[in-house]
Amino acid sequence: MLALMRELLEKHCRELPSGTPALPVTAIARYLAELPGWSLASDGQRIAKSYEFKNFHETMEFVNALAWVVHREDHHPDLEVSFKRCRVVFSTHSVGGVSENDVICAAKIEALLR
């Protein structure tokens, strides 16, 4: 496992003080290099990944595990759930873009599937 990924897995989401800026695109790109399949939206304000599964049961198992992780972190994504697919989208509304909390949660979700 890469050092940056280990670092993200050890961190926890935190409340961001008022006025905290979104991460710069260069920092987001560095994180995404270690989060396979995650991408930055064209508006630069969200990161997302779609996961494919064999059936609805597997999809819902993933959604339930994801829900447990993000609930513990108190940082929740937008989800689009269908029969064999779940799209996960993170953005931090208070900073108007992507924060470290988003990449922490993305890393923890990736760890679920390892």
13-41, pLDDT tens digit by residue? 999 999 999 999 999 999 999 999 999 99
49-62, pLDDT tens digit by residue? 999 999 999 999 99
DSSP sequence for 38-99: -EE-TTSS-EEEEEE-SSHHHHHHHHHHHHHHHHHHT---EEEE-SSEEEEEE-BGGGTB--
Which tokens go with 64?
Answer: 């339930």
Mean of pLDDT values over 105-109? 97
> pLDDT value at position 114?
83
> pLDDT value at position 1?
53
Give, as one character, the DSSP assignment of residue 22.
P
Domains along the sequence of the chain with CATH = 3-8+22-112 (3.30.1360.20)
Residue 82 has pLDDT above 70, yes or no: yes
Could you give the CA distance from residue 71 to residue 83 in angstroms, rounded to a whole number? 23
What's the burial of 105, exposed, middle or buried (CB within 10 Å: 0-12/13-18/19+)?
A: buried
The pTM of this model reads 0.94
